[in-house]
Amino acid sequence: MLIIIKGLLLICRLSLVLAAVMSVYKNAKFYPIDIHFMLANISSVNTSNACVCACIMDFMCITVYYNGYAQNCVLFSAELRQGQLNLATTDTNSIVMSFKNKSIQASTVFSTMNKTVYAIWNTTAGSNSLASYSGYEQGNFYPSETPSSVFDNIGNSSYSSYGVCNYSTWDLSCGTNTGFYITFKNAPYLLRAFRICAGHYRASRDPLTITIEGSNLAGAALTLGTSWTLIYNGSTGLTTDPGRSMCGELRTTGNSLWFSSYRLLVTAKRSVDTCVEYSEVNFLA
C-alpha cells in the first residue's frame, strides 16, 4: 500500500513491521499525465489508489518519507511543476516510498472532522487572546474567508483577518497579531513541522513571520496567555513569493513537547494591505 495523503494536516507515527516489502525511488519524478508513471505500473503496488498521479488536480500532495532503522514515518511535501510531481523537501536524500505489509499499527489522520478552530486578534505570544468575528471592521475577519478555510484542503479559499484595521484601511500593521488556535479532540500530538500556503488574492497580504504555541488546557483557559508554551518564532517559509495559493517552504519547529491545542499568530506580513491572508496551514506530526 502506498500512503498518499492529500492536503494533509497531521499524521502520527507509523510503526512498520520488519517484514514489510519496500520499493524505494530516490529523488523521483512522476509524470501525472502519463499512465506509464502510475506507481501501480512501475512497482509491485497493485491498487487503484497507489498513484501519485491522483494529485494532479490538487495544489499540493503529501507523501511518506522513511527515516532510518527506527522505522518511523514522517512527512514531506511534493508539488506539481511543469507537468512533473517533484519531491520538495529540505532533505537532500529525499525518497518516495511504497510498501506492502501485513501489519501496520493504527495511525490517525487529524482532519477537519476532529478539531475546532477559533479566530483571534490583538494577541501576541504569551498574552491573552481576543476572539475575532466575521465582519469588515477592526477585529474582524472577512465573512467568506474564515479560519477554518486554512484546513479545508482547498487552495483558492483563504483566511483573511483585518486586525487593527478594517476593509478600507491600508497599513503594514493590518492583520498582524491575528491568527487562530485549534483544539484536537482525539489526543495530544508532537508538532514537528508545518507549511503555510499563500492566499489567492495579493502577495502583499502574505504572512512572513509567525509564532506557534502549544497547550494542554481546555475551554476558557485557552484564552489566557499563561496557558500557552512558545514552541516556534520565525519564518512562515513564504519569504520568497511562491505565487497565489501556492505553498511555502516546509519549516521544522525543533519542538519536543506534546500538546492537544496549538495557537498560531502572524507577527509580520509582506507589504502594505488591508489584512493578512493565507490559504492553508499544514501541521505535521
Q: What is the DSSP letter of 152?
A: S
> Where is the domain boundary, 92, 107, 122?
107
Mean pLDDT (whole number) for 253-273: 95
Checking if the pLDDT of 278 tops 50, the result is yes
Q: Are residues 159 and 32 in the same domain?
A: no
pLDDT band at 6 (very low <50, low <70, confident <90, very high): very low
Q: Are residues 90 and 121 in the same domain?
A: no
Q: Are residues 125 and 19 in the same domain?
A: no
User: In this structure, how many other beta carbons lie within 10 angstroms of the beta carbon of residue 113?
Assistant: 8
Tell which wins on pLDDT, 53 or 267: 267
Dist CA 19 CA 282 (whole Å):
31
Tens digit of pLDDT for each residue in 185-199? 767 888 888 889 999
Tens digit of pLDDT for each residue in 12-26? 232 322 233 334 444
**Which range, of 87-91, 150-154, 203-207, 261-265, averages the lowest pLDDT?**
87-91
Beta carbons of 276 and 169 less than 8 angstroms apart: no
With CA atoms as reference, report the closest residue to 194 among 77, 78, 115.
77
Dist CA 54 CA 30 (whole Å):
11
Dist CA 63 CA 51 (whole Å):
11
Dist CA 265 CA 230 (whole Å):
11
Please report, as a single letter, which amino acid is at residue 188.
Answer: P
Q: Are residues 82 and 129 in the same domain?
A: no
Residue 229's DSSP bridge partners are 214
Instruction: Give residue for cell 489508489.
Output: 49
- Say what the pLDDT of residue 226 is: 97
Q: Are residues 81 and 119 in the same domain?
A: no
Residue 91's DSSP bridge partners are none
Tell which wins on pLDDT, 238 or 48: 238
Tell which wins on pLDDT, 110 or 171: 171
Specify the CATH number for the domain of residue 115. Answer: 2.60.120.260
Q: Are residues 142 and 279 in the same domain?
A: yes
Checking if the pLDDT of 227 tops 90, the result is yes
Q: Are residues 65 and 177 in the same domain?
A: no
pLDDT band at 114 (very low <50, low <70, confident <90, very high): low
Q: Are residues 221 and 173 in the same domain?
A: yes
Tell which wins on pLDDT, 192 or 262: 262
Q: Are residues 55 and 194 in the same domain?
A: no
Q: Are residues 145 and 265 in the same domain?
A: yes
**Which range, of 172-181, 223-232, 250-259, averages the lowest pLDDT?**
250-259
Checking if the pLDDT of 7 tops 80, the result is no
Q: Are residues 161 and 271 in the same domain?
A: yes
Q: Are residues 137 and 223 in the same domain?
A: yes
Dist CA 133 CA 138 (whole Å):
10
Q: Which domain holds residue 243?
A: 111-284
Mean pLDDT of the chain: 71
Beta carbons of 254 and 194 less than 8 angstroms apart: no
| Number of independent structural domains in the chain | 2
Beta carbons of 189 and 258 less than 8 angstroms apart: yes
With CA atoms as reference, report the closest residue to 246 among 59, 62, 109, 15.
59
> Where is the domain boundary, 82, 107, 132?
107
> Where is the domain boundary, 83, 107, 131?
107
